Every structure is written in C-alpha cells, then in structure tokens.
C-alpha cells in the first residue's frame, strides 16, 4: 500500500518547521471513519551503536484485538532527536514498515503526539496526512499544554482536557487505575472524543493501548545489525 510522496524528509530544522506550518493547514479533526475492523499500532526502537532505527507495526482485529499482521523495518538513523521535529527522525522508518501491510488499517495509533504539538503537527498527525488514514497520538509524556492534575481521577477511564493557548489540543487519560496517564490527541481524520473512545476500547489492562503495546514489544524483540547505508524496501526505490 505505497502512498505518493508528499514531500522530502531530509530537511534542515528551519525548513522542517516551515513545512510543518504548511502541512498543519490541511489537518482534519472531524471523524472520517467507516466501520472499524482493524486498528494498527506503531512504535520505534533506536540503537545508536549500530546507527540503526527499527520501526514496528502491528495490525489487530477490532474489537477482538487479536494480532493479524506484524512487520518491522530498519534503516540508518537519519536525524538527531529534536523536540518538535520527531516525525523527521522516525516517520520515514515507520512508513517503511507500513508498506509491508497487506491490509489497510481503519485507525493507526502512534507513540507520540497528534495535534498536541506547538505547531499542531506531531508525528501522529504527520503520519495521518502522509498515509491518509485516521491516526491517534498516544504519548507517554507531555510535550505541549497544561491540564488540571487535581481534577484527573485516578480510576481507569477518567480524563481531563489538555489545553494550549486557550485551545483544547488533547486529553490526559488514565488508561489504568493509579498509573501515570497517557497524553491522547487526535492525529488526522478523527476527533478528540473519538480518539479517547478508541484508546480506551483498545485497553487490555496495561497503561499502553494494545496496538501500541504490541508494536513496542515487537520493535525491541530481535537483535541489532548494521543496516545498509541506503534505505531499503520497494517504496524508496520507486522515487528516490
């Protein structure tokens, strides 16, 4: 399921920021969902020593949440981690893993922010725009915004809005009783309410929603090896 390239990924920080401002104009926060039968989760693992980045994608049936497909994709690390520019470091690798899917997910859960980002375009949003699939940002920590910590209940399912510049950009959700909350925000083609609903519906009693939790495990599973200098996989060879 290759997608037409939207833009180049190898940009200078200044150019990347300008691109984010442009792309953010096209984000859709209304639900564009049909029946949901498959939810995918993506995550990454990094190994500095081998200069390797590994993305993992796990496709699960919904609402059964049984694993349908698992894929990993590796390539050299391209960018350093810069707060606010995570997608330029990880998205290309995630897309590589995505190209291996036989089935197109109805929703994709990403480890990182959706619109809960200084320019409203975290990695989940960026991936949604590139893949043209509804995405949800499921981050383990805060990047931007504030919330009423006192108002957040400690029981699983409780949540409070995440605010930034007078704007609701996401929700701080307790996915498991008495455990640190998750920072949920819509990525693209989905609303915040629906995002929260699916994250909770994909919970299996752990802090992370099952799709992301499975992808996290898969990305850390195998041993590391030096990746080729050039990105591999059919999608790059077509338009690089």
User: In the complex, which residues of this chain contact DNA (CB under 7 A)?
Assistant: 43-47, 81, 83-87, 90, 111-113, 117, 122-124, 137, 139-143, 178, 216, 219-220
**Residue whose CB is less far from DNA, 104 or 168:** 168
Backbone angles phi, psi at 161, to 5 degrees: -70, 150
User: Is 229 annotated in some ligand binding site?
Assistant: no
User: Of 16, 102, 6, 47, which is closest to residue 219 (Cα–Cα)?
Assistant: 47
Comparison of 68 and 176: residue with beta carbon closer to DNA: 176
Residue 106 annotated as part of some ligand binding site: no
Least distance from DNA to the Cβ atom of residue 141, Å: 4
> Least distance (Å) from DNA to the CB of residue 125?
8
Q: Specify the residue, 210 or 216, whose C-beta has the smaller distance to DNA.
A: 216
Angle, helices 13-23/123-131, rounded to nearest 10 degrees: 60
Find the distance separating the first CA and the last CA of the chain, reported in whole Å. 17
Least distance to DNA, CB of residue 81, Å = 3
The distance of closest approach from Cβ of residue 121 to DNA in the complex, given in angstroms and rounded to an integer, is 8
Asked if residue 156 lies in contact with residue 203, where contact means CB atoms within 8 angstroms, the answer is yes
Closest CA to 24 of 108, 102, 128: 128
Binding-site members for Mg(2+) are 43, 111
């Amino acid at each position: 399921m290759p997608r037409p390239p939207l833009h180049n990924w190898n940009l200078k920080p200044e150019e990347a920021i300008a691109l984010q401002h442009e792309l953010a104009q096209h984000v859709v926060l209304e639900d564009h969902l049909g029946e949901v039968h498959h939810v995918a989760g993506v995550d990454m693992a990094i190994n500095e020593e081998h200069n390797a980045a590994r993305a993992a994608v796990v496709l699960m049936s919904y609402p059964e949440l049984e694993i349908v497909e698992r894929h990993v994709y590796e390539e050299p690390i391209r960018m350093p981690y810069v707060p606010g520019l995570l997608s330029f470091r990880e998205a290309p690798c995630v897309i590589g893993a995505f190209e291996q899917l036989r089935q197109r997910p109805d929703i994709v859960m990403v480890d990182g922010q959706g619109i809960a980002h200084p320019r409203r375009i975290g990695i989940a949003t960026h991936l949604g725009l590139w893949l043209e699939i509804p995405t949800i940002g499921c981050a383990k920590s805060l990047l931007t915004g504030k919330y009423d910590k006192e108002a957040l209940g400690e029981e699983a399912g409780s949540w409070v809005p995440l605010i930034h510049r007078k704007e609701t950009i996401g929700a701080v959700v307790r996915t498991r009783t008495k455990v640190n909350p998750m920072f949920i925000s819509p990525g693209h083609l989905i609303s915040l309410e629906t995002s929260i609903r699916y994250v909770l519906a994909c919970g299996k009693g752990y802090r992370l929603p099952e799709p992301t939790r499975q992808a996290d495990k898969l990305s850390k599973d195998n041993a590391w090896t030096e990746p080729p200098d050039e990105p591999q996989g059919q999608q790059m060879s077509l338009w690089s």
